[in-house]
Chain A
């Protein structure tokens, strides 16, 4: 298929090829350097004193005894840096350390830098903090109450309550659709929080050196936002701060905020003028959380007499924990991202995100869309069941067509939802199985869609969202400079593949340098599934610039017009007379002749789009991924334990630049989504996180994983780099409802609360037995 980004005669050497990630060998040999692997001369240990109370006023902090412990180099408290920060400009409600109040058990109170961990811990023990305990807000409903100012978690809340953000939207006439519906239902759903559980704990090293420059190494997805926040909190110009992102051991959204401990390490280092490393215990990672919001979502769905979805009403109450984080976006996403992949003529939404005295919630894979997606897809399944329709065909009948606008004015370009449903249905032999499997064995389907990056940037600066620089060596090696954070998703490989492909080079000509704010142009970072689309486009444009220069050089050398040349196999070839060739290196040297250094730059900025109403920007994306999954499972009727057999996962990724990497994203998303639907729980006992460890916070092991069959649907997005769209988050969405719908097919029971653990299934089966016994 010919894509607008292709030259007329250029064939791809790397795009679409299944190739190992370019850092795979470093990772398989233990040579990849993560933050905790770095040890600077003179480095000391930083540790944070944490609040034992969920909500309290700090009356005093006495560090005098701790300061006198030999081996202690610096102590900081909230008063040392009171400037607020936060990932979103609209909710700057975090400080490096608590200033007046602590807001959750585990909140940061003071910090110590010392020679060893032992000394640092002893010093923490010697810091005396006087608290006045305040009433904690631990249930979302309590945060809706109007309370005196002292009980509000932050100065900016709604109407004297602890509501952080309230959103209302109304499109079309939901009430009428509901009144006139052939089938309708209201249902309340409950979701517990879940967290990223990446394997690498947070780690940061900060060094404020003799030149009064600050360098911060940190396991972060957003070096640029970290850069900004450090500048604000430390009151230093950005050009005196350098952020380096070493190899990151997983993020999934959990490393996509600037964090207090990053500020704290910098403050400590500024005080003691030594490199300070803060490495979190696993328990501290849980206190940092920023995982998926627990929520209570009430949904009403209407289906009209033509079996078309006629109205959806979503009312979401979302528990944000102590800070704002990405929460304003979450408050919108819980509603607006219900506007696909099905046509929806009438839509009403209310979203309320509240503050509570728990570790903050934030962005996690599938940010904002997962829980509402679950609720919506369950009700769709119920509708199909009640109306005697096949749930797959019913969904197929309702899909959004390509090149359309949703009622809330999301611009839909390419859409593979129809093909996704068809192929998942086909591959799973759905028609032979749905409704036909024996009791205890079932099959279910669900769909989804997700943004490929947010069209509107968080900050209102008029700079491109992604910029990529290329620099060519004398022998033709290409260094790719970008600040798109490689966090294991393969973005470095994607950049190298695109650049090498455009230049007709083997991939190992490219070295990706994406870890350093001193050398990289700005990129907003790895979140909201934006990197392949945005940084990929920037890289493509930068490479096309270079290609132009090389073709001009070949034209100059050979005397043929530039239009006839293509780049292939390390050569610039005249495609009308292939025997006329200039070697790549010759072309490079020629192109360098007049300028000395061969460099280029490309950038990406999303085109203008969207409506004029309040909150119109939320959910806008230059393009969307689509997916439909079918799940087959069985239930152990004795214990209630579900066993997943197969998942057929059809995902429209636009174009699979590297199928190996795309499959990896789909398989990983499924693992994470299965965890949320089956067993993961960020549980509390009053204000304490009940299970801040990997024993009791359960991710699925290889033994519970089903066979996953990825199905790559390619719709070749005209604006995506070589047609590509996102694949890192969307594939998480359908797995949860697909499992639940399969459970219904298996045992005839609906689940409106997650996770669906064995004991809940067993209880439901017992109830079912009893009620059928009374019927007889």
Chain B
């Protein structure tokens, strides 16, 4: 399967990138960044919104470092999964990284690409031929959503594994654009529907992911983190439901609770403590938490497994996570 034609650029620094993007903004040419390519290239092969200009980040230096409080956007998921120090501070992050795609894809996949992953849907992730025969959808080439028929909102599902745990950790995303550098909390980053997805501007590069020191073991007791992923096989599967949790306790009570869910709506969702801060940790609380989450989680019929089952699993997972983390 061939890719569509595009022109390819290899900047080596952030400045180079700015030069390129500025030019394209001026000429009005569409462009994409490509990091590991494991999301962009399958989508391009399927002719899903390909662009004429592609900026490869593979030769940009300095964006792949990993330290507990700052991870470069070009760090490979493979290296995150194998990182000892990260594992000590944020076991949930390492656990989630180990569950991404498959070993060979983790060798290519980057953290940045994972966080900026395009949304997924049965009607979208198909070939040009398939979509032409079915009728194009809102997200690519068409004007109506085929999941929830209407013309305004795209219901494709956000299916990255790492965003949920970074929402829990209250990470900040550092963006580098023509107007300078800005940091946006992950919790304010994901916005909109399956097309818009986040507040990053097309010309901004994601450079670093900062995790507040307060979350790590360096200062006092760390937030205990864990991630549970629902998938049909144990490999080569996007999450069709993923629940991340961060928990601090005082005695037998919850002193901090962070819950985030991926693989449900068009963006990963942070739910905070769902009103359970201060509760005593027991079976009843876990049941209550499950119910509270079930009331909030939405799923649609556009990825594998029935929506009802996926939603129910969110409840099961959050309950289990609370009891195992405590």
Contact = CB atoms under 8 A, between A and B. Distances in A.
Interface stretch (A365-373, A461-469, A693-701): A693-701
B305 A759 contact: yes
Contacts of A407: none
Contacts of A763: 309
Contact of A688 (B133, B232, B233): B133
A638 B312 contact: no
Contacts of B237: 695, 698
B132 A52 contact: yes
Given A50-B129, A692-B130, A701 B309 contact: no
Interface string A103-145: 0010000000000011001000000000000000000000000
Contacts, number: 62
Contacts of B320: 638
B304 interface: yes
A409 interface: no
Interface in B110-163: 122, 126-127, 129-130, 132-134
A173 interface: no
Contacts of A775: none
A118 B2 contact: yes
Given A639-B313, A690-B122, A759-B306, A698 B2 contact: no
Interface in B221-277: 230, 232-237
A440 to B, nearest CB: 15
Contacts of A639: 230, 313, 316
B233 A685 contact: no
A261 to B, nearest CB: 15
A52 B133 contact: yes
B1 interface: yes
Contacts of A688: 130, 133-134
A701 B237 CA distance: 11
Contacts of A757: 232, 305
Contact of A701 (B230, B236, B312): B236
Nearest to B310: A759
A759 B309 contact: yes
A751 interface: no
Interface string A55-79: 0000000000000000000000000
Contacts of B313: 639
A680 to B, nearest CB: 10
Contacts of B236: 694-695, 701
Nearest to A283: B127
Contacts of A685: 122, 134
Contacts of B232: 679, 698, 757-758
Interface string B1-32: 11000000000000000000000000000000
Contacts of A696: 122, 304
A695 B130 CA distance: 16
Contacts of A105: 133
Contacts of A701: 233-236
Contacts of B309: 758-759, 762-763
Given A281-B1, A759-B306, A698 B134 contact: no
Given A701-B235, A703-B235, A638 B122 contact: no
Contacts of B233: 679, 698, 700-701, 703-704
A672 to B, nearest CB: 15
Contacts of A118: 2
A118 B3 CA distance: 10
Leading 6 A-B pairs by shortest Cβ distance: A52-B133, A759-B309, A703-B234, A701-B235, A638-B316, A105-B133
Interface of A: 50-53, 105, 117-118, 121, 281, 283, 638-639, 679, 685-688, 690, 692, 694-696, 698, 700-701, 703-704, 757-759, 762-763
Given A701-B234, A704-B233, 18 more contacts: A52-B133, A121-B2, A281-B127, A283-B130, A638-B320, A639-B313, A685-B122, A690-B122, A692-B130, A694-B236, A695-B236, A695-B237, A698-B237, A703-B233, A703-B234, A704-B234, A757-B232, A758-B305
13 contacts: A52-B133, A53-B133, A281-B127, A639-B316, A679-B232, A679-B233, A685-B122, A688-B130, A692-B126, A698-B233, A703-B235, A758-B305, A759-B309
